[in-house]
Amino acid sequence: MTRAETYQLRAQLLELLREAGHPINSAALARMLPWHTERLDLGCELVCLAPRHNRDLEVVECHGNWHVVRRPRSSQDSGAGIYRHLRSLAREGLVRAIKQGPRRVEWEYIARLR
């Protein structure tokens, strides 16, 4: 993920939390975001020709031994996931983590006075 993509994702997360006006968990936030586009270094047998049990993967470009695909975001994706970005926003004082249980956290926008 480039620096520009990181800033854009964090801005989208802040906007979603601000507009919601109530705490939201990271999985729900991930579902609200636009799908993620990425390159997969996999052949057609694993992408184009594989049985489609999961319809949440859209092939954008097929190049034989690599593909460009789109898929929904997840809170735990490496690189493109949102959890690490939410933690960073919390360190900056822009959002607050509200612990709901041992492995359950909701996130809330913190209004800043100008």
Whether residue 19 sits in one domain with residue 41 = no
Q: Can you give the pLDDT at residue 36?
A: 85
The helix/strand count (H/E) of the chain reads as 3, 6
Q: Are 20 and 13 in contact (CB under 8 A)?
A: no
Q: Can you give the pLDDT at residue 14?
A: 95
Whether residue 79 sits in one domain with residue 25 = yes
Model's pTM, two decimal places? 0.77
State the virtual CA torsion across 79, 83, 87, 93 in degrees, nearest 10: 110
How many separate domains does the chain show? 2
Q: Domain limits at 23? A: 1-34+73-114
Q: Can you give the pLDDT at residue 53?
A: 67
Taking the chain (114 residues) in runs of 10, the rounded mean pLDDT of each run is 86 94 91 89 88 79 94 72 88 94 91 61
Q: Are 6 and 47 in contact (CB under 8 A)?
A: no
Q: Can you give the pLDDT at residue 88?
A: 92
Token pair in block for residue 71: 């898929």
Q: Can you give the pLDDT at residue 71?
A: 87
- Output the domain CATH number for residue 86: 1.10.10.10
